[in-house]
Chain A
Amino acid sequence: MSRSTRSKPGLERRRFLQQGALAGAALVAAPRVAEAQAAPAAQAPPPVMTHAAEGAEPADVLTLRDDERAGSDFMVDVFKSLGFEHFFANPGSSFRGLHESVINYGGNKSPELITCCHEESSVAMAHAYYKVDGKPAGVMAHGTVGLQHASMAIYNAWCDRVPVYVILGNYADAAIRRGAEWYHGVQDAAAMVRDFTKWDDFPWSLTHFAESAVRAYQVAMTPPMAPVVMVLDGELQERPIARGERLVVPKLSMPVPPQGERGAVEEVARMLVAAEYPVLVADRMARTPNGMTLLIELAETLQAAVIDQGSRMNFPSRHPLNQTLRARAAVTDADVIVGLELADYWGTVNALRDQLHRSSRQVAKANAKLVSITTGDLYIRANYQDFRRLQAVDLAIGADAEATLPPLIDAVKRLVTADRRRLFEERGAKLTQASRAAAEAARVAATYAWEASPVSVARLSAEVWAQIRGDDWSLVSSYYSNDQTNWPRRLWNFDKSYQWLGHAGGGGIGYGAPAAVGAALANRRHGRLSVAIQTDGDMMYAPGVIWTAAHHRIPLLWVMNNNRAYHQEIMHVQKMCNGRNRGIDRGEVGSQLVDPNIDFAKLAQSMGVHAEGPITNPNDLGPALRRAMAVVKKGEPALVDVVTQAR
């Protein structure tokens, strides 16, 4: 239905808004065009929100009749059909119609509304929620101010190729806008994020909405996945429709992820079987828990080294073929490297030296054969530069890596001879020895500064691991969580898909805290213990997420890695200080979070959360963690503030 053919209830509502709510603005019957042009001074001023307008008696109050329902009720029907279980939102009037339909018509169940204190938090929660659940969550926000808040988190999700379903409210028709709606109104709401979303639409009718809503879901969930935006007109949400009006909820038909071309897959198999030192490098590979299972099968068949770059949980951390802790050595030794959904292939086989004059060198052998399997080859956007440097490879397969693993495994198995198998076993034994040595070195490294105060991050990680290792745990946010060799990755036994959730994607700080809440919400139904190692600088972006966790009874153990600064930035400034010979003793100016120190325990307690700290003696940490875990196991969040060293 186009706007020009809207039904009578829509016109009535418009009349109510013009004659009623705007009456206090001295709006009179609209002049004819000719009259208005002849006497512009007599035109009514633009409608503005005034106290008088708000208080004026409406001329014509409309309520839904028994034979009517709201347009947004039908929207909820569509969203339910897509299987949404949660919508994250900070409330906003431009989607008030949908809000009301979610909580009343939909019963606030599937989707359930999760109250957030910042739109950036809403999106980050949905981002991490997907990584646990494998299903997108919805985010509702104003089309202007809400999206502006949300945009960095949408960019993170884009860079991480994670689907987030963003629903924006907007009053398109200027004739019916209240005062605030002018600030919240926009011609093209999605324009602001179009560079880093995959698709958007602004439907003009409910039928148009239904088709676009389903299409948006399909687009978001088809690899390479990415956020999508649906802009919902406020009037379309609020306009009554006849209960008998025939509106169809379209069937969702998900495209099958593309599999690599057979001949190319067989060529990769030949290269792998013939290789002396093949290395499998996985980044955004495991879309589903089966992705890890498949990579294990391929690696074990070949007895090949695996490097898990950590955007997804691709490979068990303690698998003997896991060479992540010695990744550079493995790449240097490789004669065949197969990249599986790598965000940065160039950075995998090259090194950039960040000094005053930057330089780079190739670390892979010059004659190493490079293979890429990624949906990244099928989709690229301009402007934002998350596509990284172009890496020439010997064989590029534009396909979904997880979908391509089964035929690749089959092809490899067909080619393996008894002689090759013997060589594979010898190689596997050496790799096992190397990974064990690396793991043992990590354990020993953690013993240094064991008794130090502030607490070393290694000690913190070891203490947390000692408490959770017997539980069904999930690390929902982690210290510099994009780093595949951070302390939990070095010390803990990650072997389940939900135990490691990758990172923010775009490097936007402020992701960790809300992501922990979103992931913990997804873990809650499975009874998992959600643990976050939470940096202080990240938490300070939007600490209202603590309240969200408390309000919705989301069990989550927050362990603050409170090093009282943005230390990575200090390192950058120090590099400038040194390179310019100006002395380094002021390098912390502008990046520290001291004077006053932030008391995160009090912050959490102010929002009704059990919290302890600041803990400076490492020997106090274990008991505090045990007390906090007891609270979490009762179904609530808890926080332990630990004052830590820089890195």
Chain B
Amino acid sequence: MSESSAKERKLRNPIVGHIRALAKGFKYLVEPNRMTLDYPAETMKLPPNYRGFFTVDDKKCIGCSMCEMICPPQAITMIPRVQVQSGQTVPEGAGQGKKTKRPVVNWGRCIYCYFCFDICPVDAFVPSGVHDLAFYNDKDYRPSYEEYLKPPEEPYKNSKKVVSRPDLKRGVGYEPAP
């Protein structure tokens, strides 16, 4: 069990070793084992549980601030809103109704841990399925509530959508998304 089980290594004969290394190298030169994706001509369709950008269901949210409390990087801010008769919320002063709050995420701070998803007592957060967004300036990081409600627009819409699959030859292969 203990020390006696220590393995004795076997060193390979240098001549055999060089030949085998060169042969293997030649094999992969002829038949490369490529697993990269031709981004952005091809983009990944991510699994449904992938943690990317997300938005909130305005009608479902009850404004309890639990997400703001649990957010580890303090990316969530609660904005004061007024809930009108239809269940939608409007900015303060724009309508009559119940005073409430709604979360807004600062994308510059968010770490996509999805703790807010899990603490939400009404399951109001909605994943958008988008993960590859870039922001051009500091302002875009911090959307207003109305901007935050709209699901982020997916870049490279015309690209070929693929999903990954395990491949015995290449490790990761890609096939067209269903």
Is B a genuine binding partner of A? no
